[in-house]
Structure 1
């Protein structure tokens, strides 16, 4: 079970990317616009907790993960790690202790691995760059431990292999081992199984859950697949166009969603047989609006199967609809 103490907290997090205007914009004095990738997110992650961020492409999930791992800088809000404000921290030397404790698993394992490096060098790289080992014996022991924890046994058989000599599942395990080598307290996993076969997905998910149980490690699991999030997460947060529209326990979000967008995500999953008791809504119409031109009022209104005039002019507030279950919809009860 996850610890109640928060290891990380996001407060009103914003990430806006400015758009360079054209000549006529500058001549006419039009104000500069920006892509509002993340537009005010509040989120806390407990020690040993698994939280899933769910949403369509362009919802801001990966940007949140990149901010947490300090690969992107927020334009507003705060990032607190164990109560310490890390928002403005920059530079390799200043971030070395933080990177020791917060790691990221990237979506494309093959792109994340240097094809010219062996598995040993790939997993050993963060240990060397963060100066966490004193000699080659310690380095070999840490690499072996990380590979074994990621399910690559016996570890020595993989030391001299190159990425092209591995299967897709083995490559993903090497990426996981690279993150585990430094023994972090929090891992951000960005779509870590989206490019794998279903049978391999189950194995990788089990590895992540086992690692949480073994090391009391927190995990932010980023995915577009709501049923997949339910399999692994303690809580699920649903993002839409840079906003968090619903958050709650995995069971509540999956089986009792209160926001029409969450219902649409669940209904988009192929089903076999009868589905008694499901909250059915018509399919969503159109594409996600541009994050550079966020609609006024409820940003989901143009796609919402429900109709409510208040949504056109006023953004809904997140209200409590159950124990630790929040939904940002005027019609949520």
Structure 2
């Protein structure tokens, strides 16, 4: 545990949803997810919209509390710690980089004030001059130089990439050890997005930061992350090394996800077809969540929910691998990727 920065242990998050006038149901946004992020590591969480990625991020940032299970940060169980002092101390450990840089900045405040406010809240002992000095240092750290040219500007006077650098500077203001990046480049041009990813990688090396990197873009996940978690319908269906998963995916959903990624130089297309039927996340799901779309589904898949099967340093939630052992290859045709 000394080398583990973040641990999700059988975490569930259910939201109460009204059905009709008097009925209620629980929407299972995250359903029994477990994984670890080692200190100094970048873990990517990938999956389609609505799979539970952002809900996991918000639980780690204590926007939501888990319905069940526990979340540990640097060896301390932070589940249920909602006191003002506990939350303030926690905020110094975990900060978030948001998807929409414009929507996450106060348009009425200047950039220097936005970053400086974070410093003032967590370090009230600093003088005005010391706060300004810290803000200048942060602006230079994220590549906004000279800092004086940016500190007096409002968010609408900055480009999308510059706004995202302000968001990163604000996150770094409290000297966190863990950053949660929720699709931080999805609203930026490709070239600007690569600059932001390179900045994040550079900061990770210099500051020893740990990242939970959320994305639907497999290319950016491969560029950024050491390991990967694949989410589907609130479930972690596969996890392991990023290169291993991309080069040799095990779960049928991972294969489907990879097959949907445009590859202009590939003439052939991966032979996997799935229906459009999505699982009902409000029901008592007793079957594999991917069963309705999986071309390899059996009667058992429609009646039972698979466990996490461990194969070497990888995990996969699929009955195909119930008796697999380390060294066994994928049981779904992925030869096109070799």
TM over 0.5: yes
1:12 to 10, 13, 16: 10
Q: Relative to structure 1, is the Cα distance of residues 24 and 132 closer, same or farther in structure 2, using a 3 angstrom cutoff?
A: closer
Which stretch shows the higher mean deviation, 122-131 or 49-58? 122-131
Residue 224 (structure 2) pairs with residue 232 (structure 1): yes
Residue 304 (structure 2) pairs with residue 331 (structure 1): no
**Deviation at 1:245?**
0.3
Partners of 1:211 and 1:43 lie apart in 2 by 24
**Deviation at 1:181?**
1.2
Residue 292 (structure 2) pairs with residue 302 (structure 1): yes
Partners of 2:124 and 2:201 lie apart in 1 by 25
8 A contact 1:50–1:221 mirrored in 2: yes
Q: Deviations over 1:101-138 (max 9, x none)?
A: 10001111100010010010111121112235511222
8 A contact 2:2–2:75 mirrored in 1: no
Partners of 1:4 and 1:274 lie apart in 2 by 44
Q: What is the root-mean-square deviation of aligned Cα atoms in Å? A: 1.8
- For residue 102 of structure 2, give the secondary structure of its aligned residue in structure 1: helix
Partners of 2:117 and 2:182 lie apart in 1 by 20
8 A contact 2:120–2:126 mirrored in 1: no
Aligned length: 322
Equivalent positions of 1:168-183 (< 5 A) are 168-183=160-175
8 A contact 1:123–1:143 mirrored in 2: yes
Q: Deviations over 1:16-59 (max 9, x none)?
A: 0112344464xxxxxx4200001111111111100011011110
2:280 maps to which residue? 290
1:36 maps to which residue? 28
Which stretch shows the higher mean deviation, 121-130 or 289-298? 289-298
Which stretch shows the higher mean deviation, 129-138 or 76-85? 129-138
2:213 to 221, 225, 232: 221
Equivalent positions of 1:55-204 (< 5 A) are 55-131=47-123, 133-204=125-196
2:332 maps to which residue? none
TM-score by length of 2: 0.91
Q: Relative to structure 1, is the Cα distance of residues 43 and 54 closer, same or farther in structure 2, using a 3 angstrom cutoff?
A: same
1:29 maps to which residue? none
**Deviation at 1:4?**
7.5
Partners of 1:193 and 1:287 lie apart in 2 by 30
Which structure 2 segments of 5+ residues have no match?
325-338
Which stretch shows the higher mean deviation, 144-153 or 221-230? 144-153
Partners of 1:316 and 1:246 lie apart in 2 by 12
Partners of 2:100 and 2:173 lie apart in 1 by 19
1:53 maps to which residue? 45
8 A contact 2:277–2:292 mirrored in 1: no
- For residue 288 of structure 1, give the secondary structure of its aligned residue in structure 2: coil
**Deviation at 1:154?**
1.6
Q: Relative to structure 1, is the Cα distance of residues 185 and 24 closer, same or farther in structure 2, using a 3 angstrom cutoff?
A: closer
8 A contact 1:7–1:82 mirrored in 2: yes
Which stretch shows the higher mean deviation, 286-295 or 308-317? 286-295
**Deviation at 1:327?**
0.9
